[in-house]
Structure 1
């Protein structure tokens, strides 16, 4: 990869929501010029619209993306990874860095399919990346140079915050931050439903619930307080909040969330094992 920052070329295999969010983020942050971004997607209309909007280059196929790029982001569904990796295998060179953004796909799985031809980084972004407030975890097998790792992190920082974790924690990451936006959205919907039950107009209930979650998350982040401290700040003796907390505890609120996160992590593990089993069957 070229020595100077922002001089590398970036390729995208797949141009869906997450890929387009990454493109917008890095272009907005000035990390990579649109002329140095190349993408391919089987949905050519979507690809051409994105090219017209952002000024990126389009490729005729996935191999052309790889040939024109130093760093390649594989932004396709997990069930198509094997097919796409085998398709681009012979186009990959030692200079390439391949970034995966799919749940359940291990670094080892990717490297075995491509014959260890290039360096691989596994990541797990989440949907708030679409508005620059994402939480992305990354892991690698440590064969990247410090400069290459810096370049990868710089790309991911355009989506929000980034944490480097051991690969054995990626299923837990998937369960907390990867799938977490769904839990938060359900909680906001439930809060708003409660507000409507208490008499609030629906649109006002949603606005108040959404801002309350945003504000509480920001308070926790900026003040670096334990969530329990914030709960205690709001809960006056014999007051309305502690009454609501009592009802949540009676209904098993925290236990339900814990079990849901654990179930998600176990499902992520199972998906990874299934994908690896399919790969092993194909290579026998």
Structure 2
């Protein structure tokens, strides 16, 4: 059970803090069994005080005390972070890396065989128990490790195991997705305001519409365009709006944005491999 583990989170920026919050809200582990550290020690202390967890001054201390160690640094900071924990990771520990584009093989080589590595791509919605997470097992990770990851991240959203080469695409879709969805929400709100709604009313209606639509698709198992056809009637309001979206190239632009984000994740991986291979 995950509740029996000590989970250390190295790096408590936006994603790291979202994970801390999600673990506590989802009752994955008690706050007393969560340790945090950060390149800026004051940040770790701030998060510890805010969420009732424990901070450690160095990542080496964090690694020694955690049997599940989550590396939540940005890709560019991952080499220095891994160097800081090398030799300190528990030999039978589980290392979970969140960094976009950083391969499990890179982490495994840097750790010289200590611990087992799993690479995951969660998103910020983990903070409210609605995360979308995909993960891939490293070369020495086990089926039991997969069950542990599914237990932890399944408590704070939906989790799917994939082959590691797919994680660049996952990064573009669900990793970057909250940013794209938030931008879409902004545009919907602005449209509501331009049409005469007070901003607070437009805000509530737009966000609930997005949330409700996602739930409807998931619960009923519909393809998105099936639902679109259920809403759109000939010469109706939805068709009028859709005509503008098609004319402005919105549908392919959104698809292209996902591909661009996925390609960037692959580029980041190549840059890390070239610099530290």
**SS state at 1:138 partner:** strand
Matches within 5 A, 1:85-100: 85-100=82-97
The CA distance in 1 between the partners of 2:154 and 2:245, in whole Å, is 36
1:248 matched to 2:236? The reply is: no
Instruction: Please say if residues 22 and 155 of structure 1, whose CA atoms lie closer than 8 Å, have aligned partners that are also in contact.
Output: no
**CA offsets per residue over residues 137-156 of structure 1, 9 Å max, x none?**
10013533333322222121
118-127 or 26-35: bigger deviation: 26-35
The CA distance in 1 between the partners of 2:97 and 2:111, in whole Å, is 13
The CA distance in 1 between the partners of 2:24 and 2:180, in whole Å, is 30
1:164 matched to 2:161? The reply is: yes
Match of 2:103 among 102, 106, 116: 106
**RMSD over aligned Cα atoms:** 1.7
Match of 1:128 among 125, 128, 133: 125
**SS state at 1:99 partner:** strand
**CA offsets per residue over residues 43-73 of structure 1, 9 Å max, x none?**
3333223323433222231111111111100
How high is the TM-score relative to the length of structure 2?
A: 0.93
Instruction: Please say if residues 22 and 158 of structure 1, whose CA atoms lie closer than 8 Å, have aligned partners that are also in contact.
Output: no
CA drift of 1:228 comes to 0.8
Instruction: Please say if residues 124 and 170 of structure 1, whose CA atoms lie closer than 8 Å, have aligned partners that are also in contact.
Output: yes
Could you list the runs of 5+ residues in structure 1 that have no partner in the other structure?
none
Report the number of matched residues.
Answer: 277
Instruction: Please say if residues 21 and 159 of structure 1, whose CA atoms lie closer than 8 Å, have aligned partners that are also in contact.
Output: no
Could you list the runs of 5+ residues in structure 2 that have no partner in the other structure?
none
* Moved beyond 6 Å, runs of 4+: none
Query: Could you say which residue in structure 2 is the equivalent of 1:30?
Result: 27
CA drift of 1:117 comes to 2.1
The CA distance in 1 between the partners of 2:126 and 2:84, in whole Å, is 28
Match of 2:216 among 211, 216, 219: 219
Does the C-alpha gap of structure 1 residues 105 and 234 become closer, same or farther in structure 2, counting only changes over 3 Å?
same
Matches within 5 A, 1:193-208: 193-208=190-205
Matches within 5 A, 1:252-267: 252-267=249-264
34-43 or 249-258: bigger deviation: 34-43
Query: Could you say which residue in structure 1 is the equivalent of 2:73?
Result: 76
How high is the TM-score relative to the length of structure 1?
A: 0.91
CA drift of 1:129 comes to 1.5
CA drift of 1:16 comes to 2.5
